[in-house]
Amino acid sequence: MTDVLQSTWHSIPDALREPVVLAMPFFLLFVVVEALAAYFLEDERPDGSPRYDRRDAFTSVSLGSVSVVTMALWKLLGLAVYTVLFVHVAPWQLPVDAWWTVVLAVLGVDFFFYWAHRVAHRVRLVWATHQAHHSSEQFNFSTALRQKWNNSHELVIWAPLPLLGVPPALVFLGFSLSLVYQFFVHTERIRTLWRPVELVLNTPSHHRVHHGSDPEYLDRNYGGILIVWDRLFGTFQPELHRPTYGLTSPVGTYHVLRLQTHEYAAIARDVRGAPTLRAKLGYVFGPPGWRPEPRPVGAPAATALDDASPAR
């Protein structure tokens, strides 16, 4: 198994083994250029609020710096498990050096990213890992760096890929390419692109909708590279107006540890106070914002999942 893992890894060109690490200096360059543009060209919005919050940007960069380490650890664990699946369970093994395998890996990762992202917005325990990315009330390149520290649920959802013979190294290559692409959709500097591009790809306009806390924007546009998944599965929403960014219940802190953990603490408080097992499970696995339905006077003690609750 070790030989397969090593040969798979070494067959990937050096420049493609960790695209995120290679792209980080360019990420920081774009963050600085965008910040300078905001400062010198249009530091305030028409309502007088700052267009670029330096403290918020610093928090986002700090969260991203830690995520580089935590994501590397999760990826090492995932690589080991995926290699076992690829070597001992997969009915066939696709060639790692074939261009079409790379294409299949990128498309497969993007498809499963859509579902992982959708789960992250609809299951509160998983939302707890993801909500920090949505906690900024700004939307700029620094927001793209405001990443989660726990991406374990993504590793579970990607598991069908090595089971179907996709080399594990290519799974992570596809995810890294997706992260690099998604950095560039976190900006208000680009309004809309050529219509065919907007039809197929995730763009800044589509992703601004995803970060909006407005009711019409909640739980929309989950796509990573392609927006076609949202169009196919009924979660697409065009940009109608400038979104209100951030969480529906703002956290009100720049403390990086609190931003990552406050939702876990909220889940624990709700579970402790829940009167029934069903309610406890609802607080953990129901959608964010879920509450037990009020019990009518005289009705037997019971609760039900209210799936219509807001997602953030």
Q: Is 245 helix (H, G, I), strand (E, B) or coil?
A: strand
The residue-averaged pLDDT of 186-214 equals: 96
Question: Taking all residues of the chain, what is their mean pLDDT, rounded to a whole number?
Answer: 87
pLDDT over 80 (residue 220): yes
How many CA atoms lie within 13 Å of 302's alpha carbon, on the beta-carbon side? 7
Distance separating alpha carbons of residues 47 and 74, to the nearest angstrom: 43
The amino acid present at 301, given as its one-letter code, is A
Percent of the chain past pLDDT 70, that is, above it, reads 85
The predicted-structure confidence for 221-272, as pLDDT tens digits, reads as follows 999 999 999 999 999 999 999 999 999 999 989 999 999 999 999 999 999 9
pLDDT over 50 (residue 166): yes
The predicted-structure confidence for 103-146, as pLDDT tens digits, reads as follows 999 999 999 999 999 999 999 999 999 999 999 999 999 999 99
The predicted-structure confidence for 66-114, as pLDDT tens digits, reads as follows 998 898 888 889 889 999 999 999 999 999 889 999 999 999 999 999 9
pLDDT over 90 (residue 298): no
Of 60, 72, 56, the residue nearest 21 (C-alpha): 72
Distance separating alpha carbons of residues 130 and 151, to the nearest angstrom: 8
